[in-house]
Amino acid sequence: MRLFATASTLALLTACTTADTNEPDGTRGAALSANQCEFLATQEASELPLETIWVPGADGLPSFCEVTATLSPVEGSNIGVVYRLPEEWNGNVLGIGGGAWLGNTSLDAARDGLVKGYAVMQTNAGHTSTNPWGNEWVVNPVQAADFSYRAIHEMTQAGKRVAARFYGQEHDTAVYSGCSTGGRMGLMEAQRFPADYDAVIVGAPVYTLQVQTSAVFRNQTFAQPQASFTNAELQMVQDAAVAACDADDGLEDGLINSPRSCSWQPRALQCEPGETEDCLSPQQVDALNTLYNGRRASDGSWLMHPMSRGGEASWGFFNRADGSGQSADPTRGGGLMGLQPVIFGARQVDWDNFSDANYLTVRNSDFAEMYEADDTDLSAFFERGGKLMLWHGENDAGPSPVLSNDYARAVLSDNPEASEQFGYYLVPGMGHCAGGPGADQIDYLAAMEDWLETGNAPDRLIGRKADSDLVRPHCAWPDVARYDGSGDANDPSSWSCVPRS
């Protein structure tokens, strides 16, 4: 089916609009863009039903054409898409990923791209639910496939054509950016559809259902007798870990730059006989050791990823650290419980006693085969010149940074010729996608633009902290930042990237 008419129709509209106005150049340009936006929704411009609205610039945003549509690549598929096309275009398109079990069509998610002049592409990922953990829609195999891999691809293919129609020319570069679920979506693009994007930015990707099984087994660990924690106890543990390992990077600043190099042991806080205050029970110590070390399944894979020393105070956000168990978890095991019908069928699962056998059923399921973006052979993407930037917060209490470490090692092993096309960055003190005490404000898109322009992967990303003077360099893995011992600690030049111990 022909999606768009030839460029001559748009050229005719442009000529007529220009000839019919005597307004100043800026006003004339805005009027032309608004008319082009309206024209997109006509049958002359597109056989795909589109709705458009011209949005005048406000609140720091440029004027842009907002285009909405529903894509149906297969019967029963209803992929909602939103394209935001700025009046002043930089020639590039930017795909945006979702979060949890949702897509993301919000204007806030498009803001950075619009301000930089990108034509921004977004999708609801194939369903209309607004509950981030309510994924019962996966029983519909079409919606499950749309969310797993098809929606971003279809959004991208149609979005490129919409942008070409609006601007009258093809885009120069296609960039993707997403964190969490959006990170998984980005990896899926590079793996399944390597021609969709020239550059992919991926943060804290939940690329495997091991993220969900980790949530269930962590809740199980906290629910053991006397193994739960109050927020005050988690803060006490974090303070002790930071006090022991903070200075390992040459500066005491409240951050552990390399948590897996930190040798602090929780038994240092174990209660002496007769003590009950400001100390930990033996069961709590055992629980911490289990959480720091993670757990392996009978097949050798991670059934529960390790958690990081130095980020304990934030563990309660994603985990039932208070011992209340699976039934009290609003995330429902990161959404795993909602997958029961498609993974376990009619068989009931004892979530409080989730087992190694249950884990193997999850990982070997047809749904996992479709949903997981764990293929590290990216040769087709790299052979096209593709660039992949991966980043993860060290204090992430959801998907563990260990999962991204494993992926980075495998990518470099499977694609040794593409070492200059892959960059991985760990961010000390950052929580899930943002937040935490670290320098979590990073302009990943600007860093990728520099990479595309120069051909050189950044040896460090510069992070800042909102409402703070904190500025830190985040070195390309496997290096880690170390303070040189003199100079302003908030000046990145006072830090060196050194091998991680």
- For the ranges 13-27, 184-198, 289-303, 404-418, the lowest mean pLDDT is seen at 13-27
Residues 40 and 155 both lie in one domain: yes
22 and 104 assigned to the same domain: yes
Instruction: Report how far apart the first and last C-alpha atoms of the chain are (Å, whole number).
Output: 57
Is 166 in the same domain as 288? Answer: no
Task: For residue 41, give the amino acid letter.
Answer: A
Domain count of the fold of the chain:
2
pLDDT tens sequence across 39-48: 988 866 667 8
CB neighbours of 450 closer than 8 A, spacing ≥ 6? 458
DSSP 103: -
pLDDT above 90 covers a percentage of the chain that reads 89
Q: In the numeric block, which tokens belong to residue 476?
A: 């390309």
Residue 453 lies in a domain: no
pLDDT at 7 (0 to 100): 37
Per-residue pLDDT tens over the stretch 174-227:
999 999 999 999 999 999 999 999 999 999 999 999 999 999 999 999 999 999
Residue 491 lies in a domain: no
CA 256 to chain centre: 22
Cβ proximity of 283 and 226 under 8 Å: yes
Residue 5's pLDDT is what? 37
Residue from 328, 334, 337 nearest 304 by CA:
334
pLDDT greater than 70 at residue 497: yes
Position 459 in a domain: no
> Which of 417, 434, 451 lies at the terminal end of a domain, its last residue?
434
pLDDT of residue 297: 98
| Predicted confidence (pLDDT) per residue in 110-124, tens digit | 999 999 999 999 999
CATH number, position 48: 3.40.50.1820
CA distance 106 to 98: 10
**For the chain, what is the radius of gyration of the CA atoms?**
25
Q: Are residues 237 and 365 in the same domain?
A: yes
Q: How many other CB atoms are found less than 10 A from the CB of residue 8?
A: 8
Which residue, chain included where needed, has tokens 């894509």?
A: 71
Last residue of a domain, which of 323, 344, 370?
Answer: 370
User: Does 93 share its domain with 113?
Assistant: yes
Q: What value does the mean pLDDT take over residues 149-161?
A: 97
Q: Who wins on pLDDT, 209 or 18?
A: 209
Cα 484 from Cα 501, distance rounded (Å)? 17
Residues 265 and 329 reside in one and the same domain: yes
Residues 240 and 304 in one domain: yes
Residue 462 is assigned to a structural domain of this protein: no
DSSP bridge pairs for 474: 461
Distances (CA, A) of 411 to 181, 271, 377, 426, 460: 19, 44, 7, 16, 19
Using the Cα atoms of residue 320, residue 305, residue 442 and residue 428 in order, give the sign of their dihedral: positive
Separation between Cα atoms, residue 45 and residue 31, nearest integer Å? 18
Asked whether residue 2 is assigned to any structural domain, the reply reads: no
Q: What is the pLDDT of residues 409-455, one digit of tens each?
A: 999 999 999 989 999 999 999 999 999 999 999 999 999 999 999 99
Span 19-42, average pLDDT: 65
Range of the domain at 245: 210-370
Rounded to whole angstroms, the Cα distance separating 190 from 206 reads 15
Tell me the percentage of the chain whose pLDDT exceeds 70: 93
Tokens (6 digits) for 212: 């969900």
Is the C-alpha dihedral spanning 7, 11, 17, 20 positive or negative?
Answer: negative
What is the pLDDT of the chain when averaged over all its residues? 93
Instruction: Give start and end residues of each alpha helix (H) in 116-226.
Output: 141-145, 151-167, 181-192, 210-222
Higher pLDDT, 14 or 92: 92
Interatomic CA distance for residues 500 and 49, integer angstroms: 54
Residues 25 and 166 in one domain: yes
155 lies in some domain:
yes
Whether residue 190 is found in the same domain as residue 73 = yes
End of a domain among 332, 349, 370?
Answer: 370
When pLDDT is averaged across residues 277-282 and rounded to a whole number, the result is 96
Q: Is the same domain home to 221 and 199? A: no
**Strand partners for 122:** 82
Render pLDDT for 356-394 as a digit per residue (tens, 0 to 9). 999 999 999 999 999 999 999 999 999 999 999 999 999
176 lies in the same domain as 39: yes
Q: What b-and-e string marks burial along 157-189, b requiring 16 or more CB atoms within 10 Å of the CB?
A: bbbbebbbbbbeeebebbbbbbbbbbbbbbbbb
Q: What is the pLDDT of residues 196-206, one digit of tens each?
A: 999 999 999 99
Q: In one letter, which amino acid is 373?
A: A
- Give the model's pLDDT for residue 33: 84
CA separation for the pair 168, 165 (Å, rounded) = 5
pLDDT at 174: 98
Whether residues 142 and 233 share a domain: the answer is no
* Token duo for residue 77: 């598929």
Beta-bridge partner residues of 104: 123
Specify if 126 maps to a domain: yes
Query: pTM for the complete prediction?
Result: 0.93
In a domain? residue 465: no
DSSP 209: T
Q: Residues 310-363: pLDDT tens digits?
A: 999 999 999 999 999 999 999 999 999 999 999 999 999 999 999 999 999 999
Q: Is 137 a residue whose pLDDT tops 80? A: yes
Pairing of strands 471-475, 93-96: unpaired
CB 116 within 8 A of CB 445: yes
In one-letter notation, the amino acid at residue 163 is: A
Which tokens sit at 100? 């949890």
What's the pLDDT score for residue 196? 98
pLDDT, residue 276, reads: 84
The reported pLDDT for the residue numbered 45 is: 66
